[in-house]
């Protein structure tokens, strides 16, 4: 089975952990993490650090449980309050029926913040597919948003193009086969496809649970479920005058491939979402900036916290 793909780079480094029957839903830092009822089901929320201005909310990339972003969270928590959470079915969050869309994911985040009593202003930081989710939330409650960081984020013309949707569908099919392998106890296959990045807590073994993998598979279907009218540039909403940092990866193929060029063009289009935007480049990082160069994300957060008031 091929690796599940470059867009799932949050789960592409080596590990020797095996997934046994009793390890499919490990407990995780219960003193920091809590389950929040958002209306008949619960989402896992982890908030750390002391508030020093806006609260940072990290939105993960597709398929990625929040535990993979905890090292980044702990870095940011040294200077301000920061929260991570698991979308439905990922990590320790309750599942939902299949058929998720970016709108329903944004509904969940909006409801989670309200039910958990986490009050803004917020800095919303969305990685990859998570960029669509934070944009939708920011558009709903702009008065609560102090800034947005799009971390090598998906862009409509790239990720919602026929080729982008086809690639995500192919990856979803791979995940379906991987979930079946996990359910059958084929730990060698699952370990090879979903290795745990170094420096990430051991609880990250949860990414190998069959139901978590299936939830990730359904998430990828959200690209294809997006309405045709929303697939053009800025189709999922603009940010007005909300401060925006587009943090893009600097490490690409040499020479640049056509896909790299297309992605780079998409990153430039994201700058047009706000009248107060700027681009930062994580020069030493690929798509996984939260793993390759987390300090670049922390620097972007500081930049927004320290921005002059308008």
Per DSSP, which regions of 119-172 are E strands?
122-127, 145-151
Provide the edge-to-edge strand list for the sheet that holds 244-249.
33-37, 42-48, 82-85, 55-59, 122-127, 145-151, 244-249, 277-282
Q: Residue 290: is its pLDDT beyond 60?
A: yes
Cβ pair 92, 86 in contact under 8 A: yes
Domains of the chain: 6-305 (3.40.50.1820)
Q: Residue 77: is its pLDDT beyond 80?
A: yes
Looking at per-residue confidence, does 7 or 33 come out higher? Answer: 33
Average pLDDT over residues 275-292: 97
Rounded to an integer, what distance in angstroms lies between the CA atom of residue 152 and that of residue 163?
18
pLDDT of residue 24: 43
Cβ pair 221, 172 in contact under 8 A: yes
Angle of helix 210-225 relative to helix 102-115, nearest 10 degrees, comes to 120
Rounded to an integer, what distance in angstroms lies between the CA atom of residue 213 and that of residue 175?
6
CB neighbours of 83 closer than 8 A, spacing ≥ 6? 45, 46, 47, 48, 55, 56, 57, 58, 73, 118
Average pLDDT over residues 82-91: 98
CB neighbours of 153 closer than 8 A, spacing ≥ 6? 126, 127, 128, 129, 130, 131, 132, 246, 267, 270
Average pLDDT over residues 230-238: 93
**With bands split at pLDDT 50, 70 and 90, how would you rate the model's confidence at 8?**
very low
Q: Residue 71: is its pLDDT beyond 70?
A: yes
Looking at per-residue confidence, does 9 or 60 come out higher? Answer: 60
Share of residues in the chain with pLDDT > 90 (%): 84
Q: Residue 20: is its pLDDT beyond 50?
A: no
Measuring CA to CA, how many Å separate 130 from each of 3, 19, 29?
21, 27, 24
CB neighbours of 310 closer than 8 A, spacing ≥ 6? none
């Amino acid at each position: 089975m091929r690796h599940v793909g470059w867009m799932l780079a949050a789960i592409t480094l080596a590990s020797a952990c095996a997934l046994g029957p009793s390890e499919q839903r490990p407990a995780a830092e219960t003193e920091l993490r809590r389950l929040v009822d958002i209306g008949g089901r619960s989402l896992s929320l982890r908030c750390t650090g002391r508030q020093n201005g806006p609260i940072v909310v990290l939105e993960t990339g597709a398929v990625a449980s929040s535990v993979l972003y905890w090292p980044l969270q702990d870095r940011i928590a040294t200077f301000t309050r920061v929260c991570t959470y698991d979308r439905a079915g990922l990590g320790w969050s309750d599942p939902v029926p299949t058929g998720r869309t970016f709108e329903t994911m944004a509904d969940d985040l909006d409801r989670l913040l309200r039910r958990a009593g986490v009050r803004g202003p917020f800095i919303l930081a969305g990685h990859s597919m998570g960029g669509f989710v934070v944009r939708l939330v920011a558009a709903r409650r702009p008065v609560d948003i102090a800034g947005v960081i799009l971390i090598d984020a998906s862009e409509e013309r790239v990720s919602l193009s026929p080729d982008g949707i086809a690639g995500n569908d192919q990856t979803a099919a791979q995940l379906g086969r991987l979930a079946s392998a996990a359910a059958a106890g084929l730990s060698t296959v699952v370990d090879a496809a979903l290795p745990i990045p170094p420096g990430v807590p051991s609880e990250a073994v949860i990414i190998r649970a069959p139901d978590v993998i299936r939830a990730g598979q359904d998430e990828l279907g959200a690209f294809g479920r997006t309405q045709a009218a929303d697939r053009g540039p800025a189709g999922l909403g603009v940010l007005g005058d909300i401060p925006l940092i587009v943090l893009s990866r600097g490490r690409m193929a040499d020479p640049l491939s056509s896909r790299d060029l297309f992605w780079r063009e998409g990153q430039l289009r994201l700058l047009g979402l706000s009248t107060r935007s700027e681009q930062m480049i994580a020069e030493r990082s690929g798509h996984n900036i939260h793993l390759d160069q987390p300090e670049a994300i922390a620097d972007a957060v500081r930049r927004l916290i320290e921005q002059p008031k308008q």
